[in-house]
Structure 1
C-alpha cells in the first residue's frame, strides 16, 4: 500500500501542476468529476486506515488518550473533525457491505454512505439481514441522483419499498420513539448576556415547532418587499408580535393577560424629569429610548421608594391608549399607519406622537397606531409623525431617504 501511495503521489503532482484555465469546458467538467471520484475513494482508504489504527489501540500505545486525540495532533485537524473521522470509520466498518463497496468505488460520498448506514441501522430487528441488505442497495442506487439530505428522507421510508408489510408498524414505532425523545429533550432557555442582549435557545417538539411556525410566518414578509431586515431579524420581530397578541387577549393566567406595565421608581421628589433608563423586574437595564417606546402603550404605575428601597406608595395607572380612544384610533387609522404597512389593528400599539413622558396628552390628536416594527422605527428618531390638516397621520422620512422630507401616508387601509 505504501508503494502504491507513493506512485499516487507522483500522479497527483502531475495533476496539480496543470493550470485549469487551459482546459476546454468538456475537459474541465470531466476533470472535476474525476477528482471528486478519486477523493471519495481516497476517503474510503483513509477511513479504513483510521479504523485499523483504532482497532489496534495504536494511539493509546503511543501515549495518546484516544484515537481522535492522536489524529488531531498528527494530522493537525480540529478535535471535532478527528472525532467525526473515528466515528465514521467505526460506523462504516460495521455498516452494510453495499455502502462500503460504493464508497470504495467512489460512486457515493462519505456523507451519503453514513446516511445509508444510519437508515439501515434504524430498521426494526424483525426486518432481518436480507431486508437490510436490500435496503442498503436501494439507497446506494438512489445516492446516484440524491444528495444526503434528500437521501436521508428517502431512507426514513425505505421499508415502503423493500418491505411494505413492515413499513406501517415500523413507522408507528419510530414516530413513538421520536415523540418520546422530543418530549424528554424539550426545553427553552432564556439567558441574559453581558452586552445587554438576551439569548434564546432550546429544542422544540414537532407539534410545538409547527405551532411556532404557523404563528410567526404570517408576520415574516419575504425578502424583496422593501424590508431590509434579515431573516433572523424578521423572525425575532414576529415572535415579539405574537407575544404582544397573546398579552392582549386577556386569557393568559395570573398577570399574563395584562398589558406590559412599566413601574417608574422615584425618590420622594415629584416626577418632574423625563423618563430615564429603566430596569425590568428581571434586572435587565433598558435605555431611555426603549423605556419611552414601552410607555407608549403600557400601563405606567409610579412607585415611591424609601431610602432602603422599600415601596412606600404605588400610584394608580396614569394613562393607556384603550377603550373608546383605541376604538377611535382603529376607525381613523385602520391598522398600522406607517406608509406601506399592512398590519391590522390587533397587531398595533397606540403611540403617543408627543411622548407621554414629555408631557404629551393621551388624546386622539396625539396618538397613532403603529405595529411593533414601525413603533421601533419611529422611536429611533429618523422618521417623524404628525397629524395632517385632515386629522390623519402623515410621516416625514429621514433626509438621507428623501432630502425634501415630503410627508407620506399609508393608503393601504383606506380602501373605500
Structure 2
C-alpha cells in the first residue's frame, strides 16, 4: 500500500525525534544542550500549529460524529487522552486560527510565537463581532498583535490582548466578567491523604485570594526553606484561623464555628500519659542545657522541674484506645490530637450504657483567660527562633502531662506560638525549656534551634 507523502513525512519526523530522544544529553557540551532545548521548543511550536490545522480539518470533515461523540471536543478528548479543559481549549484555538487568525497561525507555524500566545489571541480577540472587525484594522489589528507577541512572553502578551479587547469592545468585557462570576466554583475533595482543592475563580476573586495569601505570608524569613506552595497552604489555614477566632462568622451563635473533636475520657488520659517526658539514659538529675562540650540535653522532668515543655509523644501508650474522631467520624492521629488539645475548649459529656446523656459539664480551657493574657503580655509574639508573628496569629502551647499530674496549668509552662510553629513543634517533637527568662528550643537529637538555624 502506497503511503501518502504527508504521512511519510510525519513517520520520518517521528523516527528522527525518537533517535534524538535516545541520545544521552548529559554527554553533550553545555552550550549544545541549550541549542537542543531551543530546537525542541521550535519543534513543539510547529507541532502545535500542525495539531491545530489537523483539528480544524478533521472537525470540518465531520466523520468524527459517526462515533457518537456529543461534541468534537469530547471526541478529541477521547482520542487524545487529554483532560476536558485542555481538549476544549485546543479545539477552540484551532477554530480561531482557521477562521479568524491567519497571521497568528502563520507565526505559530514558523515557530515565532508559542501556543500560549495563540491561545490568548483565540480566547480574547475573537469572542465578539466588534473585536473580529478590529482584527482587520491595518494599524491595531491582528498584524499589530502578532508583532507584539514576537516581542514579549505569553504572560505579558495575555495582559496586552486583554487590554486590546477591552478597548475594542467594553460591553463584551462586561459580559465576560458576569459569565466568569457565574462560572465560579470551589470544592475540597477528601482523599486518602487529605483534601485536594479545585474549581474555578474569576480574575477578581482569584486576585483577592492571592492578595490575602501574600499578605498573610509576608516576607519569608531567611531560614524558611518551604516552597511557595507550602507557604500558601499554611497561609490559607492561617486565614481560616483568623476568621474563626475573630468571632465575626456567625457572631450570634452560642458556639463559634471551629473544629469539633470527640475524645473518649480514657483516650484523653492516655494522651496525657503519652506526653510525659522520657528520661534520657545516663542523664544526671539536675543536668542543664547542652554545654560547650556538647553534653546531651535531657528533657526529663527531674532534670528541669517546672521549666520544660517536653516535645515527645509516646504514641504506643494509645495502642488499643478508642480513637478520637472529627464530627464526621474520621479518626484523629495522636500527634494531631495533642496539637488540637493544646488550644481547645473541653466540654464533658457522660453517656450511659444505652448512649443516653447522663451528665453535661461546663466548657473549660486548660488556660484561663487571665493566664492567657499573662502569657501574651510576657511573650508578646511567637517565641520560635526567628519568628515575630503577633499574638493575634497564635496560640498557647503547653503539655497535657503537666495539666494531668501537676494540678493547675502554670503560666511558666505555657508559651505563645504562631499557628505554623505550633504545628511545627508538635510534628517535630520539639522540647522547649525556659532558662534565665529565655525560651530555648531543642530538637529530638538534643541540638538547640537558634535564630540562624536552617529549618527543613
Kindly tell me: are residues 299 and 27 of structure 1, through their superposed partners in 2, closer, same or farther at Cα, counting changes over 3 Å? closer
Give RMSD over aligned pairs.
4.2
Match of 1:341 among 371, 387, 400: 387
Kindly tell me: are residues 306 and 184 of structure 1, through their superposed partners in 2, closer, same or farther at Cα, counting changes over 3 Å? farther
- 2:223: which partner in 1? 226
Secondary structure of residue in 2 paired with 1:285: coil
CA contact (8 A) 1:306 1:312 kept: yes
Using the TM superposition, name which of 10-19 and 89-98 deviates more: 10-19
Query: Structure 1 unaligned runs (5+)?
Result: 161-165, 411-416
- 2:246: which partner in 1? 249
Secondary structure of residue in 2 paired with 1:350: strand
Secondary structure of residue in 2 paired with 1:107: coil
- Identify the structure with bigger relative contact order (alpha carbons < 8 Å, sequence gap 6+): 2
> 1:154 and 2:151 equivalent?
no
> 1:281 deviation in Å?
1.8
Matches within 5 A, 1:98-109: 98-109=103-114
CA contact (8 A) 1:263 1:302 kept: no
Tell me the distance in 1 between the aligned counterparts of 2:64 and 2:340. Answer: 60
Kindly tell me: are residues 157 and 205 of structure 1, through their superposed partners in 2, closer, same or farther at Cα, counting changes over 3 Å? closer
> 1:137 and 2:177 equivalent?
no
> 1:113 and 2:159 equivalent?
no
Match of 1:125 among 117, 123, 129: 129
Secondary structure of residue in 2 paired with 1:150: helix
Tell me the distance in 1 between the aligned counterparts of 2:448 and 2:18. Answer: 62
CA contact (8 A) 2:342 2:396 kept: yes
> 1:90 and 2:95 equivalent?
yes
Match of 1:372 among 405, 412, 419: 419
- 2:188: which partner in 1? 190
- 1:307: which partner in 2? 353
Query: Structure 2 unaligned runs (5+)?
Result: 273-317
Tell me the distance in 2 between the aligned counterparts of 1:330 and 1:96. Answer: 64
> 1:255 deviation in Å?
4.8
CA contact (8 A) 1:278 1:286 kept: yes
Using the TM superposition, name which of 365-374 and 355-364 deviates more: 355-364
Tell me the distance in 1 between the aligned counterparts of 2:383 and 2:30. Answer: 59
TM-score (ref. length: structure 2): 0.69
C-alpha offsets along residues 75-102 of structure 1, whole Å, 9 cap, x if unaligned? x853557776554433322223322343
CA contact (8 A) 2:103 2:143 kept: yes
CA contact (8 A) 2:403 2:409 kept: no
CA contact (8 A) 2:50 2:109 kept: yes
Using the TM superposition, name which of 132-141 and 251-260 deviates more: 251-260
Count residues in correspondence: 389
- 1:385: which partner in 2? 432
Secondary structure of residue in 2 paired with 1:228: coil
CA contact (8 A) 2:125 2:132 kept: no
Tell me the distance in 1 between the aligned counterparts of 2:384 and 2:33. Answer: 57
Kindly tell me: are residues 185 and 130 of structure 1, through their superposed partners in 2, closer, same or farther at Cα, counting changes over 3 Å? closer
TM-score (ref. length: structure 1): 0.75
> 1:321 and 2:367 equivalent?
yes
